Amino acid sequence: MELERQILHNSREVGRAFSQVTLDDDYNLPDFKPDLTKVIKERGKIHLDEIHVNNGHVWFKGVLEFDILYRTDLDGKKINSLNGEITFQESLSIDGIEELDPVKVEGKIEDISVSVINSRKLSIRSLAEFTAVAKKPEETAVLTGIPDKTGCEIETEQMEILELMTDKKDTLRIRKEISLSSNKPNMDEILWSSVELRGVNSRLKNGEIEVAGEALIYVLYSGAEEEERLQWFETTVPIQGSVECNTCEESLVCRIEAALAQVNMEALPDEDGEERNILLEMVVNLSICLWKEEQLEIISDIYALDRQVNPGFQTACFEKLLVKNEAKCRMADKIEMDSEQEDILQICVNEEKLAIEQTAITDEGVLAEGTLTVEVLYMTPDDAMPIGSTRAYIPFSQVIEMPKAQNPVKIHLDGGIEQVTTVLADSRTIDVKAVISLNLLAFEQQERMAITDIEETELDLAALQQSPGIVGYIAREGDRLFGIAKENHTTMENLMETNHLTGTVVKPGEKLLIIKTVG
């Protein structure tokens, strides 16, 4: 029998693994760096260089990159900075994965601490979290039609489904030149810098994806003249660019995540030869998933009156878009200085990090809980220690509305920082206000028995003749008119005509007269 099929593409998670690893090592200051007396601020980031899959294991290599702002007793320059890295190699176990299976590995710093061993040596210790997710591309063939000449009775079902069109990674490279404002002195050295993405959104076009947003830039530097000492400034840089995507259409459902992969800042001379410009180079990693919404009419069952038609079934799972929703969460808190910390003269630089730690589906929607980490670099009134740092962890809890579903739901939840403001209340207190966005994409999982093949054999006439030609039937819960007709060797049209039915729905307890039909 000639069949008409449609192939649907998706990806199926075959396994995941999670591990917490302590990365630690001693680090010697380079010869050109002055002695260290106290660590003011530290941060770290994981970069993965190699990923290999073999016999149920994921092996990966990378580096922990760290930046440190510290105090030195060098005359005329009390603050300095350095950066370095610690190499590592780790593995995670995922049962059943093979060498060519695509595996996504992510690493992030949960905590990092730096302690002073002596003026030339540090101990770097970090708690890193690694997650590996293995997915396999999957194809599902659904039966959508058969030639009219086959003389079969068919039952069809209308389905709303999502088909995966694209699952890939790409990069956006940004290169900008920033100039100091006229009231700022020339630069001697960039001591600390911070770049954070804000309001990044994507627009789908035919054949490409446009990305727009801005980068929030903070820079702490030493002035070129001795009396200028420490200086800082902040600015925003627009982000705009596009990446090619052959399958992209405006009507597709998308999930596009943007994350900073690389940042480099370099002081440059202006037209007068003075160090007043900064060359900013950024690499933004894009994780792109695109789905197409389709209305499909599939054949869910089939039989014939003149021969035996036996469909083969297998369980298939289809995804349907349940909701795409966004919620704003506003929060406010205070940062109180510890007794050993210096007083605050003026706030210089803010750095923020958002972590969604837990999600749960409730009657009202999706409950998201997490933490916003706010780190503040500030000036002090103490010339011996002109820079101080403090940190606060602000918890949040927000419900994103989602309609109820009859089937299991798979959710994707991404968060972004919209705005953070820090205001000095007094020399020991900072008021913090923040707005974060939570973007929800929810898919309902529809499990169906899909026809995979059809086997045809000759009709068993002896068995057919032994069955009664006319029967009375009382409908039960869950009965379908098509199923009743199939079991009793007749058609739905005959059942409707014999029983004067106006529709194909039968109610429990309804009485039917069934007359067997011989094809």
User: What is the mean pLDDT, run by run of 10 residues, along the chain of 519 residues?
Assistant: 85 91 95 92 94 92 96 83 94 89 91 94 96 90 81 90 93 94 91 93 94 94 78 92 93 94 92 92 95 93 90 91 95 92 91 94 95 94 88 95 94 94 94 96 93 88 82 92 92 93 91 84
Give the pLDDT confidence of 400-435 residue by residue, as tens digits.
999 999 999 999 999 999 999 999 999 999 999 999
Give me the sign of the Cα torsion angle 427, 428, 433, 439: positive
- Are 76 and 34 in contact by the 8 Å Cβ rule? The answer is no
* Chain CA centroid to CA 197, Å: 16
pLDDT of residue 138: 87
pLDDT of residue 68: 96
- Are 69 and 389 in contact by the 8 Å Cβ rule? The answer is yes
- Are 21 and 357 in contact by the 8 Å Cβ rule? The answer is no
Across the beta sheet with 121-145, the strand order is 4-28, 121-145, 103-118
d(CA 276, CA 271): 9
- Are 18 and 110 in contact by the 8 Å Cβ rule? The answer is no
The residue written with tokens 């007043």 in the block is 276
> What's the predicted TM-score (pTM) here?
0.88
Amino acid at 155: E
Token pair listed for 464: 């057919």
pLDDT of residue 151: 80
The residues near 183 (Cβ < 8 Å, ≥ 6 apart) are none
Token pair listed for 204: 């789908």
pLDDT of residue 466: 79
SS3 category, 462: helix
pLDDT of residue 256: 95
What ranges in 43-138 are assigned the alpha helix state H? none
Token pair listed for 366: 């999706």
- Are 344 and 335 in contact by the 8 Å Cβ rule? The answer is no
pLDDT of residue 178: 94
pLDDT of residue 362: 94
